[in-house]
Amino acid sequence: MRRLSNRAFTHAALIVVGAAVLVPVIWVIAAGFRTQISLLTGEFLFTPVMSNFAEVLFSKTSDFLVNYRNSLIVGIASTVLCLTIATLAAWSLARLDWPRWVVHVFLGWALLFQMLPPLALASAWYTLVRSIGLQNSFAGLILAHTVLNLPMALWLMGVFVREVPLELEEAARIDGASTAVLLRHIILPLVAPGLAACAILTFVFSWNEFAVALNLTMKQTATVPVAIAKFAQDFEIRYTQMAAAAALSILPALVLLLIGQRFIVRGLTQGAIK
């Protein structure tokens, strides 16, 4: 009997916390379907309207679809770039005999870099990008997000690459496989689940990043977080449209959570346990 009530209490506590997590999100998504008046009067039951979403997505004064596309471009490009570089380097450092000091200094620098406020580096990146004439393209932000996520990707891929049995690599070498063949046909298939975990996190972090995007983008290249910040700064805040934009912006995260929870959990926890 005591065990049963114990278990009931545990579930009750977890459900309360789950509600605390979910209610603000649902309430804001619901606010996206309200009229301004309905929101201001705080009525509990309301007739949902689509006008906010229509306004945010299709109005002439709104760039949200462009922002969405920009975020996708930057997110996908920086994820591909970051994972390619990180996987190659992680494998190289784990399996080819680099002097130990090279490994330590490099990974130490990556760890230190991870701690720097990205804001502090934004101006240097901006100067760099401008000096090669790419300030009005995505190049700057893609490169910035690549280097920002690289330490995490190096760390995670390092863990996954070391899980590949050494015997497999040796066997491939004995059969005369070149490094390229080895990477393509042995390493890549075996680290694929780890790669998926790492890719989801890198993409989400790029999608979410605000401080650097704020300083490295212009009107045409602004990403979703930059656009949402604009809503809050307007002289008269259009709350329901801000809610609609917020709801739209968490869509990719929700989709990734539904299809890749396993990978996300693996990615987030892997680094801490190993």
Partner 1 sequence: MKQAGALSRWATFGPALFVMLALGALPLANLVYTSFHTVTWSGGQATFSWAGLAHYRALPADPLLRAGFFNTIVFAVFAVGGQMLLGFTLALLCSRVRRGRVLYRALFILPILIPGIVIGAIWKLMLNFDFGLINQITDLAGIEARNWLGDKETALASVIAVDIWHWTPFCFLLLLAGLESLPQDPYEAAKIDGASWWQELRYITLPLMAPAIMVTFAFRLVIAFKVFDEIYLLTGGGPGTATEVLSFTLYQRFFTEDRAGYGSAMAIAIIFLCSLLLVAALSVRRRPETAA
Q: Which of 250, 263, 243 is nearest to 199 (CA)?
A: 263
User: Among 77, 141, 191, 246, which residue sits at the site for partner 1 (rule: CB under 8 A)?
Assistant: 246
* Interface pattern 41-70 for partner 1 (x via CB under 8 A): xx----------------------------
The contact mask relative to partner 1 for 249-268 (x = CB under 8 A, - = no) is: xx--xx-xx---x--xx--x
CB of 58 to partner 1, least distance (A): 21
Which one of residues 76, 88, 134, 196 is an interface residue with partner 1 (CB under 8 A)?
88
Distances (CA, A) of 58 to 46, 65, 207, 246: 24, 8, 22, 16
Q: Which stretch, 47-55, 56-64, 113-121, 131-139, contacts partner 1 (CB under 8 A)?
A: 113-121
Which one of residues 62, 106, 193, 196 is an interface residue with partner 1 (CB under 8 A)? 106
CA distances from residue 178 to 167, 171, 174, 183 in whole angstroms, order as listed: 16, 12, 10, 9
Does 124 contact partner 1 by CB under 8 A? Answer: yes
Dump the DSSP string for 91-145.
HHHHHS---HHHHHHHHHHHHHHHHS-HHHHHHHHHHHHHHTT-TTSSHHHHHHH
Q: Which of 159, 191, 216, 224 binds partner 1 (CB under 8 A)?
A: 224
Residues in contact with partner 1, total (CB under 8 A)? 94
Stretch that binds partner 1, among 49-57, 62-70, 72-80, 177-185 (CB under 8 A): 177-185
Provide the token pair at 31.
Answer: 């606010």
Q: How far is the CB of 45 from partner 1 (least distance, A)?
A: 14
**CB neighbours (10 Å) of residue 177?**
16
